[in-house]
């Protein structure tokens, strides 16, 4: 499976920065799932807790330059997660789309697959290595490349899936258990950007949106329990 973590999740209750206790909660869930289910786990991390390319662009920076800065922010989060996972005894490798050999491996598809086969958690950082692409798109791309069976998008703000409206504003908003890729695209549902959704649709990669910070959710998903919202084709696969 491929787990997508937003950068904001690393900040805990703060607006910015990396909260060590929050990272430990995330890492513990990953390590426990890896041990309990013997599942290959890859992770894509965002960098929004440290820097967003769109923020720099809004202040007049060149968008490509600002996006490259955002890619560096994802590497910082990846290293923090790696360190915590290894403190918990879980072998881990960080692979980056931008070469920085002193601290991480370059992204090489076959090497990533081999690490997964050996029981290592592989953390993909640096986005796709190209500006103008989100880390959601990175998650869809890497999941397809390493032949993951599902993309798990973990939320961190207490929202446990996709709703008919913003549950923080509309008290009548209801949780959707399953939606199609086309429904997400046509209705503009806040899941992933359109490029990421289209990549998953073209490769028949299901997406599960769930509350990562609720204890036991990741293990429940791997155990086959319905958690959060499933994004898949309109009809169940045969």
CATH number at residue 197: 3.40.1160.10
238, part of any domain: no
For residue 236, pLDDT over 60 is answered with no
State how many domains the chain has.
1
- C-alpha span between 66 and 69 (Å, rounded): 5
82, part of any domain: yes
- Single out the residue of 153, 178, 173, 152 nearest to residue 163, CA to CA: 173
Q: What are 79-88's pLDDT values in tens digits?
A: 999 999 999 9
Spacing of C-alpha 100 from chain mean position = 22
Residue 199 structural domain: 2-232
237, part of any domain: no
- Single out the residue of 132, 159, 127, 157 nearest to residue 44, CA to CA: 127
175, part of any domain: yes
- C-alpha span between 27 and 65 (Å, rounded): 31
Q: What are 23-65's pLDDT values in tens digits?
A: 999 999 999 999 999 899 999 999 999 998 877 888 889 999 9
212, part of any domain: yes
142, part of any domain: yes
Q: What are 144-161's pLDDT values in tens digits?
A: 999 999 999 998 776 789
- 113: Cα within 13 Å, side-chain hemisphere: 9
How much is the pLDDT for 224?
A: 87
**pTM for the predicted model, two decimal places:** 0.93
CA-CA distances (angstroms) from residue 48 to 21, 63, 120, 181, 226? 18, 15, 26, 25, 29
28, part of any domain: yes
Q: What are 57-104's pLDDT values in tens digits?
A: 888 899 999 999 999 999 999 999 999 999 999 999 999 999 999 999
Give residues with Cβ within 8 angstroms of 169, minimum separation 6: none
35, part of any domain: yes
For residue 166, pLDDT over 90 is answered with no
């Amino acid at each position: 499976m491929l787990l997508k973590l937003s950068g904001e999740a690393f900040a805990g209750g703060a607006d910015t920065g990396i909260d060590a206790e929050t990272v430990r909660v995330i890492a513990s869930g990953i390590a426990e799932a890896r041990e309990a289910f013997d599942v290959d786990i890859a992770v894509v991390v965002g960098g929004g807790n440290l820097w967003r390319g769109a923020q720099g662009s809004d202040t007049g920076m060149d968008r490509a330059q600002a996006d490259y800065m955002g890619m560096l922010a994802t590497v910082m989060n990846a290293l923090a997660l790696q360190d915590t996972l290894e403190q918990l005894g879980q072998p881990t490798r960080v692979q980056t789309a931008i070469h920085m050999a002193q601290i991480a491996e370059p992204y090489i598809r076959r090497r990533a697959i081999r690490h997964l086969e050996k029981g290592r958690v592989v953390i993909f950082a640096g986005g796709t290595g190209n500006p103008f692409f989100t880390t959601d798109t990175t998650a869809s791309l890497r999941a397809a490349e390493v032949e993951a069976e599902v993309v798990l998008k973990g939320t961190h703000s207490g929202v446990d899936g996709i709703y008919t409206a913003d549950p923080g504003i509309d008290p009548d908003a209801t949780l959707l258990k399953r939606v199609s890729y086309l429904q997400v695209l046509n209705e503009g549902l806040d899941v992933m950007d359109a490029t990421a959704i289209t990549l998953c649709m073209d490769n028949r990669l299901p997406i599960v949106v769930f509350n990562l910070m609720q204890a036991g959710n990741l293990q429940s998903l791997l155990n086959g329990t319905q958690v959060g919202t499933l994004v898949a084709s309109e009809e169940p696969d045969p």
